[in-house]
Amino acid sequence: MIVITGGAGMIGSMIAWHLNTVLGRDDIVIVDRHKHAEQWQNLCHRRYADYLDKDELLPWLESGVKVDAVIHMGAISATTERDFNLLVQDNFRYSQRLWQWCARNGVPLLYASSAATYGNGEQGYDDASIENLRPLNGYGYSKHLFDQWALRQAEAGNAPPQWCGFKFFNVYGPNEYHKERMASVAWHSFNQFRETGTVRLFKSDRPDFKDGMQLRDFVYVKDAAAVVAFFLAHADKSGIYNVGTGQARAFLDLATAVMTSQGREPSITWIDMPQDLKGKYQYFTQASAAKLRAAGYSQPFHALEDGVRDYVQNYLMKTDAYC
């Protein structure tokens, strides 16, 4: 049995998709708490054994069930969340309890960290070390806090037999509509272009970046799911790993790919950066992929244009856009 927390979320539901369609597994327990009325649609195409509310999981685990692995994708993922006590409870304490159960019971734990832990990138984006990182928001810090705790536990010999923390970079793709404001620029671009005939992008408020040339490491969600599945199959690999392409691309490139994938001419409208993002907005992210490749993951990542084309043409442009 494989447990996926956040299993109705974007990455979690796509991990379930990968397990179903690529690996032929349906011995899955989905754990989540829906906050969007239509989020059930992320699960309606999936095959799984049971569904639990997040508060049901730990008592269920303690009942003596046999579990092969816990894939912990559940979290408050909004970078704008201001209630740090809530972030601590959901992103730190809950993760600690899962870690401790997995360590006691000899069960692998694969969990979601975040590239938000790198802050503005002044220390680089190398997963070889997490020392001296300065996240820009409470969400990023809550993830960093757990990464630090996990490393201390591992060094003290209090770890699950396998543990992996995945620093996901800018993930886009099917099943993200429920994230609303926090959904990817690809999702927002598609909907803006369909409704208004133009895509709105933030102006740069830094002189060293032109408008639209803010750079991110955009990762197609199918690639993110494939990385998790790789580590699920390689129980000898533990540690914290970047999940990114290693190639930064501009927001303008992404928006243009969304529009041309629909067979239409691009149109951009520039808007001011919101006040709540100023000073907390990453202008450049690019994963170091050396550690991931050294672990044996050799599959190529989708090029930006290819991932966007698949997302737009095979999901967003169809009536049933869910994977």
What amino acid positions are annotated as catalytic residues? 139, 179
Beta bridge partners of 309: none
Please state, as a whole number, how many other Cβ atoms lie within 10 Å of the Cβ of residue 38. 10
> Using CA atoms, how far apart are residues 127 and 243, in angstroms rounded to an integer?
10
> Using CA atoms, how far apart are residues 279 and 264, in angstroms rounded to an integer?
34
Long-range contacts of 15-23 (CB under 8 A, 24+ apart): 15/71, 15/73, 15/225, 15/228, 15/229, 16/43, 16/46, 16/48, 17/45, 17/46, 17/225, 17/323, 18/222, 18/225, 18/226, 18/228, 18/229, 19/229, 20/46, 20/47, 22/226, 22/229, 23/229
Sequence-separated (6 or more) residues with CB below 8 Å from residue 136: 116, 119, 120, 279, 280, 281, 282
> Using CA atoms, how far apart are residues 127 and 229, in angstroms rounded to an integer?
19
Q: What SS3 state is found at 29?
A: strand
Residue 136's nearest CA partner among 292, 314, 251, 279 is: 279
